[in-house]
Amino acid sequence: MNKPFVLTTEDRKHLKKKVWYHLTTYCRGRAAAIRGKDLAWQLGYGDDRKIRLIIRELIAEGVPIASSVSEPMGFYIVANEHEAADYIRVLKERIKEDMTRLHDFEKATSHLDIPIQSGLFQQ
């Protein structure tokens, strides 16, 4: 049975240390990427939701964790400026694709009476 998706402050600190240690020790460079589900399994979790949450926090704290959706797939610590630049390029392309999808979807649903919400992509 999976543990509920709740992390106490102590659980979060403990898991953050484990994820940081594992990534910085075994997953340096894109070639050593690890899938979220595999990392979760190795750390004793049934799924990777908590791992992804912790990875996001580590990135916000300055740990250069990138991810790849092509082989080798998974999370890794960037090993050099080339890997960092490649990942930044990938993220910018995703943003462009998402903005295009947003624009197209808004156009496709323009006939609906959708309440306007203030948000990140408000123009």
User: pLDDT tens digits for 55-95?
Assistant: 999 999 999 999 999 999 999 999 999 999 999 999 999 99
Q: Which domain holds residue 71?
A: 9-79
pLDDT for residue 122 is more than 60:
no
pTM, full prediction = 0.83
Query: If 0-12 CB within 10 Å is exposed, 13-18 middle and 19+ buried, where does residue 17 land?
Result: exposed
Residue 110 lies in a domain: no
Express each pLDDT in 89-120 by its tens digit.
Answer: 999 999 999 999 999 999 999 999 888 766 65
In a domain, 85, yes or no: no
Q: Work out how many domains the chain is built from and give that number.
A: 1
**CATH code of the domain containing 37:** 1.10.10.10
Task: Answer whether residue 55 is part of any domain.
Answer: yes
Residue 31 domain flag: yes
